[in-house]
Structure 1
Amino acid sequence: MKKTFLLGVLLIFLTVGFSNAATLRVGGILKNEHGAGIDGVEVEILYNHKIIAKSETTDEGTYFIETKIKNSINPRDVYIRFDKTTYKTIEKPIENILHSKLPDGSDIYISSVNETLHRAITPAFWIALGVLVLTFALISFEVLHRTVAALFGASVLLFVSYTLGTFNESYFVLSFEEAVKGIDFNVILLLMSMMIIVGVMKKTGIFQWLAYKSYALSKGNVFKLSIILMFVTAVVSAFLDNVTTMLLIAPVSIEIALMLNINPLSLLIPEVIASNMGGTATLIGDPPNIMIGSYAHLTFNQFLINLADVITIILIVNVFVMKFFFGKEYKKGRIENVDELLQKLKEEYKITDKKLLNYCLFILGFVIVLFVTHGFLHMEPSIAAMIGASLILLFSGVDITEMMEHEVEWTTLVFFMMLFVIVEASVQTGVIMMVANWVKDLAGNSLALAIILIIWVSAIASAIVDNIPFTATMLPVVAYLTRTIPDAGNTLWWALALGACLGGNGTLIGASANVVTAGISERTGYPITFKEFLKVGVPATAISVAIGMVWLLLGG
């Protein structure tokens, strides 16, 4: 009986206690000055100057807090605090709290608090900016290998965050979790998979055979050969990485040029310029496009439909630009016995494994179909490339260890990953927002002015520094302008793609394909000097970018 009595008293006490408890629910969304949600903001509810509940915003910037209070509350004593490093802390009373009763008779208080947070210029801002500029400088002036420069920069940012940032949060740049989240694995896996596919195809001799066929079609006419090689390079670069394309075509072009007694640069420079142009036409042709497509969720078809036509026009115009610079050299390349040379090339550059080639072409065709339909399937392009690479490895019988060691450019992939970390630090600390505000102030709400600014700034910057780090930096800037400028649609993304990819033709260090081609040429005794490339690259780039700008201003 005594136990029963005590249980009854306890039950009454708990019932009364809970019936007198009040529930407080607060939710909302936190945005930055550009209207984008801010993740990782610490949200605290204070009552009578004491923290009674905590939460954190999601990736979209939303938050929701529900907490219990023993007794009814005085709404005027409820405050909310928003706090995140590199943003100004806000603490304010919660207004417009709605009060009602739950079915059990207890009180419930509900409110919504939305807020725009403004950046605070902290030491972390200057650290991120300093590392970004230093990394660009080290890459541009080739003081360090670009992968070493990017790895060093990313490591410094994380090291500072977990040393100085531990004792003073104003020095905290970004967390390890934020760094990992900043790496776009869609780009990494797409590049890796395409490297494997190309690596297997190299074993068939298909690329050397294409060079031989190009000469056969020209019938000894060197200018015609140059045109054919430019278009072959552009088309191949549209579906394969342009760096890989030049690695395969450049050595063969040098041999053909020497047989014709002409300077190999008269073929190589037009080819590499064409490779950067061809790579601009598709989602997978050039690393900047891969990055843009992944960030902006643009499909293979969207790139092809919006850029292929203007790139074709640009390529045709540049055929005559190349003739202006190399016309005299082409006239030197006269071969008395063309048939004899063709027979020699036919024997040397032939398909070495037809069975493997047929299998590779079938798989490549399947992958391209997936690229074309990936928007409809809501499938990332990397998945299409991964299934193609795995099928080729599964049935071709090639040595996977050899592929991974010799065909996959791990230094390039590590460079991309570390670069993404550096750019994410710039996003987290507000460096990118500063750049975006500058461009927005210049452009105002004018779409035409924004197109002109983005395409020319991108082209000039990409000629000075490698277009990959520049594109990574510009992605969030263009995203902001696309949201804020009326009727922008995807036009500004096409401006960035055209500027970054075509701008890479401006100087010898503007694009990775240029550097690779120069290395191949130098090993054969025909170095491409910075000045020599500049003489051709600047006019070609200026004409190309001007055509692209007019195309976009006219509505594409």
Structure 2
Amino acid sequence: MKRFALFCFFLSLFFIAAAPVTAAEEGREASGPQDTLIVAGTIVNSQGKPIKEVAVHFYVNGVKVELEEEVSTSKAGRYEAELFLPRGTLPGARVEIEAGKPAYKTTERVALANVLKEKTDDAGNVSYLAHHGFTLQRAITPAFWIATLVLLVVYALIAFELMHRTLAAFLGASVLLFITYLVGTFNSDYVILTFEDAMHAIDMNVIFLLMAMMMIVGILKKTGVFQWMAYKAYQLAKGNVYALASILMVITAVASAFLDNVTTMLLIIPVTIEIALTLKIDPVAFLMPEVFASNVGGTATLIGDPPNIMIGSYAKLSFVDFVQNLSVICAIGLVFSLVYFIFLYKKDYLKAQVGDVQTMIAHLREEYKITNKTLLIQGGITMGIVIALFIAHGALHMEPSIAAMVGAAVLMAISRVDIVEMIEHEIEWPTLIFFIMLFIVVAGAEESGLIQVIAEWVKDMSQGSLVAAILMILWVSAIASAFIDNIPFTATMLPIVAYLNTVIPGAEHGILWWALALGACLGGNGTMIGASANVVTVGMAERAGYHISFMKYIKIAAIPTLITIILCTFWLLVVEI
């Protein structure tokens, strides 16, 4: 056995020794002294953003230089190549460079200038250095049109509710990848998005943050604390329906800021309907003010509304950044909303049959009490720590999702809640999958050049004016988010706003991010499909027997939505600039 092993060992050495030398190595060994040219540079797009995986080729006196490995740019858009040339080729030879990538125009060959001699070693080899950067221009290829069509179709399917939004995004992402590998393999003009790029496009900070917060809220639901809060609201109002409506709006807004508006509405709607039926008034008179307040309150923080989570993760904005820049205007918007809806539903509230307030309070106290005080204490402490970590995550250089994940994991461990039940029933997997697939669809639009085209158009329309850019982003976001789900719209706008921040004077401080957040979150109040919380509210009201039509929703919500956006306009132009 040992002899056989020795035989195999020496045989492998023989094959290694006899292995052929590559052309480049053979040239280096046989030619003796030679010139070495090291070329480096950065390749960017027209917005100055680095472009990765750009193929770079070199020509000497019109002949292409064959290299051992193809030279391409890194994620930072940088490339570096080492060319071995016969001795005496430089500096007299004409050295040219060209670069190309699908969805971009291949550059014409450009002669390298300023080829500098660095040193000559003892063997007579001479080293030269050169630097050359490129700006690649977008090419309108079939990939551009396919990505544009897929994005529009996905939007249409979501906006007109022709298909579940998760399925629409899933279908769009699948089509983009399928075309890339089926047709793009034979024609690079059809390369839209590679699988690797698709994986990098998924913002796992957003996914993990949403998932962890769903788990925390799912555990807190088991304590009955949210229903208890509704009972306390009625007790505090002491039978005054106007005060009750105001307190319910405030509770909904505050809860939405620290949980999320969808979860808040899911928890408060059943209790609200029961209270309204007891008072013998239309539950819609409470539900519409509440869902409006949930969107206003959710706008104030990083975790209150999905668009804010996306903006914060993309722009690296902290929990404190959102509170500092948005909480005051959201509080102003909440006060206005409160006054508006009380006047709007004044007649409904006057019809309320309050009856025996003390009997009602006693009934609610018995019906909606804390069911698990130990779990509530555990969940309350954990939630407090998570929020503290949200506030400090900028100083800790820690992603918000990490704070939420550790909170969810520790709370699950100490509460001994069944994790299988939690994963199956409390985590909204359709929502998470929707986000994942949407990131891929938007990445396809970005890789093919559509996002850059839109960004250039917005820049040209604003003519470099910060005021014009703020107005455009705020109002376009508000109008668009009223008629299509604000989540896909926000995903599309992220790279556009990021580009505008770099080219419009004064935008570098981030005011355009706040314009996008306010427009997307508050504009979603305008129609029943503008925000996920609206859809949930309308659906639960429908199941309870109270139909809210599309036009009825607009009739109720359009004016307060318009006024809150006007308030945001003054806030951004007067206070934030």
Q: 1:505 aligns with which of 514, 518, 525?
A: 525
RMSD: 1.5
1:471 maps to: 490
Q: 1:88 aligns with which of 100, 105, 108?
A: 105
Q: In structure 2, give the amino acid aligned to 1:551.
A: W
For residue 109 of structure 1, give the secondary structure of its aligned residue in structure 2.
strand
Unaligned runs of 5+ in 1: 1-12
Contact 2:28–2:84 under 8 Å retained in 1:
no
Q: 1:490 aligns with which of 507, 510, 523?
A: 510
1:10 maps to: none
Q: Structure 2 CA distance, aligned partners of 1:182 and 1:387? A: 24
Contact 1:39–1:60 under 8 Å retained in 2:
yes
**CA shift digits 1:362-417 (9 cap, x unpaired):** 00000000000000000000000000010011111111000000000111000000
Contact 2:184–2:191 under 8 Å retained in 1:
yes
Matched, 1:44 2:57: yes
Give the total of aligned pairs.
544
2:252 maps to: 233
Q: 1:65 aligns with which of 73, 78, 81?
A: 81
Q: 2:94 aligns with which of 77, 93, 97?
A: 77
Q: Structure 1 CA distance, aligned partners of 2:28 and 2:384? A: 70
Residues 1-400 of structure 1: matches in 2 within 5 Å? 20-47=33-60, 48-53=62-67, 54-74=70-90, 76-90=93-107, 91-104=109-122, 105-400=124-419
For residue 96 of structure 2, give the secondary structure of its aligned residue in structure 1.
strand
Q: In structure 2, give the amino acid aligned to 1:205.
A: G
Contact 1:46–1:52 under 8 Å retained in 2:
no
Q: Structure 1 CA distance, aligned partners of 2:327 and 2:256? A: 12
Q: In structure 2, give the amino acid aligned to 1:550.
A: F
Contact 1:464–1:510 under 8 Å retained in 2:
yes
**Cα distance, 1:77 vs structure 2:** 3.0
**Cα distance, 1:241 vs structure 2:** 1.6
**Cα distance, 1:533 vs structure 2:** 1.0
**Cα distance, 1:19 vs structure 2:** 5.6
Q: In structure 1, give the amino acid aligned to 2:73.
A: T
For residue 233 of structure 2, give the secondary structure of its aligned residue in structure 1.
helix
For residue 527 of structure 1, give the secondary structure of its aligned residue in structure 2.
coil
**Cα distance, 1:49 vs structure 2:** 2.2
**Cα distance, 1:18 vs structure 2:** 7.5
Q: Structure 2 CA distance, aligned partners of 1:517 and 1:273? A: 10
**Cα distance, 1:29 vs structure 2:** 1.0
Q: Structure 2 CA distance, aligned partners of 1:184 and 1:58? A: 20
Q: In structure 2, give the amino acid aligned to 1:253.
A: T
**Cα distance, 1:545 vs structure 2:** 0.7
Q: Structure 2 CA distance, aligned partners of 1:283 and 1:87? A: 36
Q: Structure 2 CA distance, aligned partners of 1:486 and 1:405? A: 49
**CA shift digits 1:246-290 (9 cap, x unpaired):** 111111111111111111111111111111111100011100000
Q: Structure 2 CA distance, aligned partners of 1:60 and 1:81? A: 18
For residue 83 of structure 2, give the secondary structure of its aligned residue in structure 1.
strand
**Cα distance, 1:70 vs structure 2:** 4.2
Contact 2:35–2:90 under 8 Å retained in 1:
no
Q: Structure 2 CA distance, aligned partners of 1:300 and 1:329? A: 39
Residues 428-443 of structure 1: matches in 2 within 5 Å? 428-443=447-462
Q: Structure 1 CA distance, aligned partners of 2:74 and 2:240? A: 63
Matched, 1:549 2:569: yes
Contact 1:203–1:353 under 8 Å retained in 2:
yes
Q: In structure 2, give the amino acid aligned to 1:270.
A: P
Q: Structure 2 CA distance, aligned partners of 1:254 and 1:187? A: 32
Q: In structure 1, give the amino acid aligned to 2:522.
A: L
Contact 1:246–1:275 under 8 Å retained in 2:
yes
Unaligned runs of 5+ in 2: 1-25
Q: Structure 2 CA distance, aligned partners of 1:511 and 1:229? A: 20
**Cα distance, 1:297 vs structure 2:** 0.5
Residues 515-530 of structure 1: matches in 2 within 5 Å? 515-530=535-550
Contact 2:147–2:448 under 8 Å retained in 1:
yes
Q: In structure 2, give the amino acid aligned to 1:190.
A: L
For residue 29 of structure 1, give the secondary structure of its aligned residue in structure 2.
strand
**Cα distance, 1:462 vs structure 2:** 0.2
Shift of the 158–14 alpha-carbon distance from structure 1 to 2, 3 Å rule, reads closer
2:23 maps to: none
Q: Structure 2 CA distance, aligned partners of 1:174 and 1:72? A: 44
**Cα distance, 1:498 vs structure 2:** 0.1
For residue 166 of structure 1, give the secondary structure of its aligned residue in structure 2.
coil
- Tell me which moved more, 331-340 or 191-200: 331-340
Q: Structure 2 CA distance, aligned partners of 1:117 and 1:509? A: 40
TM (norm. structure 2) is: 0.92
- Tell me which moved more, 56-65 or 174-183: 56-65
Q: Structure 1 CA distance, aligned partners of 2:358 and 2:351? A: 18
Q: In structure 2, give the amino acid aligned to 1:97.
A: V
Q: Structure 2 CA distance, aligned partners of 1:147 and 1:245? A: 22
**Cα distance, 1:57 vs structure 2:** 1.4
For residue 108 of structure 1, give the secondary structure of its aligned residue in structure 2.
strand
- Tell me which moved more, 126-135 or 63-72: 63-72
Q: Structure 2 CA distance, aligned partners of 1:443 and 1:68? A: 50
Q: In structure 2, give the amino acid aligned to 1:37.
A: P
Q: In structure 1, give the amino acid aligned to 2:364.
A: L
TM (norm. structure 1) is: 0.96
**CA shift digits 1:490-521 (9 cap, x unpaired):** 10000000000000001000000100111111
Report sequence identity in percent: 53
Contact 1:17–1:70 under 8 Å retained in 2:
no
Q: In structure 1, give the amino acid aligned to 2:135.
A: T
For residue 316 of structure 1, give the secondary structure of its aligned residue in structure 2.
helix
Q: In structure 2, give the amino acid aligned to 1:66.
A: E
**CA shift digits 1:402-452 (9 cap, x unpaired):** 000000011100000000000000100110011111111111121111110
Shift of the 228–96 alpha-carbon distance from structure 1 to 2, 3 Å rule, reads same
For residue 52 of structure 2, give the secondary structure of its aligned residue in structure 1.
coil
Q: In structure 2, give the amino acid aligned to 1:46.
A: Y
